[in-house]
Chains A and B, each alone.
Chain A
């Protein structure tokens, strides 16, 4: 007699070979999609750095005024034109000190406090305008993609807005509507509403095009057919089935939108059509400092570096998100 067990059936022999098939439970807990996305995202060093910097800047401008509680508008004419504290390294005679780490301007206002206040405005404009642009873009994209009757006209509208010269029109709109909005909502509030609306209304087109393309492809898929066959209403299909599937292109265009919004706001402030003159934003601080940049180059550099690093961080974040959210690249 041989010890060799005779297989009961050929099927069982196969199972013997593929031992893993005997497992009744998966060995590792299943991984969610977002877990995979996060793992891929963590591999992108630039994106981690960019995201970290964006979080840092946002926290700094939100919490900054509580930690560095100097009034950015307080004039202290005796202590005007201080240099940054770093200038002590190469020039021990310089008028500088830890009371004003970034120095003071020509009216003795603390530059660090102004940078924090300016960053607050710039980031607020950036986030809000990006939110508005995303909302309009997604709405138009989804409606155009889902409802065939509206598709032609909405896309012609998108093409039309795309062929408008944006920066000239922004300048026109801001110079034209400044007075009435200031009268109604106060100089700062009115300007905020105006700039956010104007940037939002002129930067939704790319999102709309991308979302429409994805929706057009998605709505022919079987799960949408299934949802429709059990009598789901269009609104519910859009909210429950379509929107979660286009979240990744929306997130990527959100980062692009944030970067453009910050740059556009700074450009408008730089050209002198932005916020009122005693109201600091990064672009405003930069443009005010340009006339005296020979003597005080750090006043140009500080807001310029703040804008550039924030935008760079946001762009890297977008790059990383694009890689992480693309299932073809993920896992490689």
Chain B
């Protein structure tokens, strides 16, 4: 198992490098000019200087290696410096200055980080600013979706072909088919416009410090969470039902019943534990989408999370931002694929990778 994990980890390095190259080359074809917003009165030679200041004067391969260096070496160094300086966990360690280099004059200066063309601030700082909103809304929706899906899946498999099963299958099919850009506006029309119960826009600046503010926060989270949870529920409950159906007909279930175990123990302990194996891997495979944010749902409810950040960066031709964000998503996808495979092997002793 350890062998397999190490082999997969090593193999994922060239995969990720290749993905970064693909994304980089794709973005190089971008027709947009980062200087398009600069006033026309700025003379061309100044514009050329500004372009070079953004790192655009270099040939493509130098730009690519600079980006790799900044992303894989400078950003972790900055993180370590921050961790040893300000974080409560590691702040007791002596302060490191890894991200500083000596310049020609002999002074220590910070190294160049990946800079957003829109805001001229480091991309990673903006990502960290946007992360909490995305994690709260999308992550909570994922948890809620799983918590709803698993009982539905168990019960519809246990009462196969019953009315509940039929209704559950229909609802999951509907949840599977209705896109979030329709459920979002639909919920807004019903609950914000006609009933006036819930706010239609997610207010990110809202601070929770009392019961009343917590209630406001709760109200504004209901709709985006429900829209996203519907999708998760539809997907996971289908898997759960399928896995339970596979296991309910197995011999060991008959054995368990024959030796006099209660129905609750048979279903909730014996069958459920075996059925959870494929479901857990499906849940792991869905994790990258949480961090990636839900581009459409965040757009509908105006949540300024990662998905919305990517969308605005795309429209503003902010290439370093788009590049870094897409690459972070790719890392997460590769990582969680690996985790799902390893989990499958750990949970199911019949699976042998070596």
B4-26 contacts to A (CB < 8 Å): 15, 18-19, 22-23, 26
Shortest Cβ distance from A264 into chain B, in angstroms? 9
A162-204 contacts to B (CB < 8 Å): 162-165, 167-169, 171-173, 175-177, 179-180
Shortest Cβ distance from A64 into chain B, in angstroms? 22
Q: Is the CB of B333 within 8 A of A171?
A: no
B158-215 contacts to A (CB < 8 Å): 173-174, 176-179, 181-182, 185-186, 188-189, 193
Shortest Cβ distance from B189 into chain A, in angstroms? 5
- Residue of chain A at shortest CB distance from B186: A304
Contacts of B288 in A (CB 8 A): 165
Q: Is the CB of A301 within 8 A of B322?
A: no
Q: Is the CB of A300 within 8 A of B176?
A: no
Contact of B15 among A160, A270, A316 (CB under 8 A): A160
Mask: chain A, 285-304; 1 = CB below 8 Å from B; 0 = not: 01100100110010011001
The stretch that binds A, out of B246-254, B274-282, B323-331, is: B323-331
Q: Is the CB of B179 within 8 A of A307?
A: yes
- Residue of chain A at shortest CB distance from B11: A156
- Residue of chain B at shortest CB distance from A180: B31
Contact of B177 among A168, A173, A287, A308 (CB under 8 A): A308
Q: Does A48 belong to the interface (CB within 8 Å)?
A: no
- Residue of chain A at shortest CB distance from B174: A312
Contacts of A271 in B (CB 8 A): 295-296, 299, 311
With A169-B23, A172-B322, A175-B315: A160-B173 Cβ-Cβ less than 8 Å: no
With A271-B311, A308-B178: A169-B26 Cβ-Cβ less than 8 Å: yes
With A160-B18, A259-B177: A168-B31 Cβ-Cβ less than 8 Å: no
With A163-B19, A180-B31, A294-B193: A168-B295 Cβ-Cβ less than 8 Å: yes
Mask: chain A, 138-174; 1 = CB below 8 Å from B; 0 = not: 0000000000000000000001101111011101110
Contact of A293 among B18, B176, B188 (CB under 8 A): B188
Contacts of A286 in B (CB 8 A): 181-182, 185
Mask: chain A, 244-284; 1 = CB below 8 Å from B; 0 = not: 00000000000000010001001100110000000000010
Q: Does B224 belong to the interface (CB within 8 Å)?
A: no
Q: Does A315 belong to the interface (CB within 8 Å)?
A: yes
Contact of A312 among B173, B189, B315 (CB under 8 A): B173
Q: Does A61 belong to the interface (CB within 8 Å)?
A: no
* Given A169-B23, A293-B188, A304-B186; 14 other pairs, CB 8 A cutoff: A163-B330, A163-B334, A163-B337, A168-B322, A169-B326, A283-B181, A286-B181, A294-B189, A304-B178, A304-B182, A308-B177, A308-B178, A308-B179, A312-B174
> Which 8 A-B residue pairs are closest in the complex by CB-CB distance?
A304-B182, A165-B329, A312-B177, A311-B177, A270-B181, A308-B178, A163-B333, A297-B189
Chain B residues engaging chain A, CB cutoff 8 angstroms: 15, 18-19, 22-23, 26-27, 29-31, 173-174, 176-179, 181-182, 185-186, 188-189, 193, 288, 292, 295-296, 299-300, 310-311, 314-315, 322, 325-326, 329-330, 333-334, 337
- 11 pairs across A/B with beta carbons < 8 Å? A160-B18, A163-B15, A169-B326, A266-B181, A304-B182, A304-B185, A304-B186, A307-B182, A312-B173, A312-B174, A315-B173
